[in-house]
Amino acid sequence: MSDHWIPITYTDNTTEKLEKAIAACHKVHVYTLKTLNNYFIAHTENLLLREFRKGFAEFLPSVRKGAVAQHYTLTKAAEKTFPYFSENKKINKNGKFITVKPIPVKEYRDIQIETRQVWQKYLALNSLITTTYGTIYLEKDEWPEIVENQAAEKGIEFDIVPFLWHSVVIHVEPGAAKLRFNLHEPHSKFGRRSMKKMKQHV
């Protein structure tokens, strides 16, 4: 299975907005990890996401102030930190928990954005998508084949992709920026709901 990354380009203005949004996401990542570490030290068990949400809701306004990052994007940054914590959690020979360190800010390069149905039209006409951070151009000759392969791996047709996409991940890297569509599994609860919507549009 490939990672289904699509090469992309965007303007300097979009780069600046994405960088600021990623910086906000990293603050969320650090806060979430600190919370998970402290909870494990105090309770010797993992904090559940549902129990984390209340404190996170109180923390979020301080990050959103002056940041272009959307609520959805910041929430996803927090949620992704949970598996990161579980994968990197270690107990030493003496049974002491070793706190998990955050991803270094220079290595934190991904941002997740909620998809829009209108993207289908923009992609078909001009191989682009519009976001809060600016317009992002997908490599015209590559993106249809990459998305078609991604759809085939899920056993769906290319035309159904816009009804199953829920977000994109953008990897911000000078000269090597890329994007990946995240799709619901067609037989999952959200996938079935999306397919039902598709039938109503036909």
Give per-residue pLDDT as tens, 74-133.
999 999 999 999 999 999 988 899 999 999 999 999 999 999 989 999 999 999 999 999
Q: Give the pLDDT score at 59.
A: 95
Q: For 8-33, what is the mean pLDDT?
A: 95
Q: For 64-76, what is the mean pLDDT?
A: 87
User: Is the pLDDT confidence value at 198 over 80?
Assistant: no
- Share the mean pLDDT of the chain: 90
First to last CA, the chain: 31
Q: Give the pLDDT score at 194.
A: 53
Q: For 31-60, what is the mean pLDDT?
A: 96
- Greater model confidence, 97 or 1: 97
Sign of CA dihedral 28, 32, 38, 41: negative
- Greater model confidence, 184 or 65: 184
User: What does the domain layout of the chain look like in residue ranges?
Assistant: 6-11+109-201, 16-107
When pLDDT is cut at 50, 70 and 90, the band that residue 143 belongs to is very high
Q: Give the pLDDT score at 185.
A: 85
Contact indicator for 78, 114 with CB cutoff of 8 Å: no
Q: Give the pLDDT score at 187.
A: 63
Considering the entire predicted model, what is its pTM? 0.89
For residue 26, CA distances in Å to 20, 33, 110, 166 come to 10, 10, 10, 22
Q: Give the pLDDT score at 2.
A: 57
Q: For 193-200, what is the mean pLDDT?
A: 55
Q: For residue 135, give the nearest of 28, 40, 12, 10 by alpha carbon.
A: 10
Q: Give the pLDDT score at 188.
A: 61
Strands 90-91 and 165-171: unpaired
User: Is the pLDDT confidence value at 190 over 60?
Assistant: no
Question: What span, in angstroms and rounded, lies between the C-alpha atoms of 181 and 158?
Answer: 13
Sheet bearing 128-131, strands edge to edge: 110-114, 165-171, 178-183, 6-10, 134-138, 128-131
User: Is the pLDDT confidence value at 152 over 70?
Assistant: yes
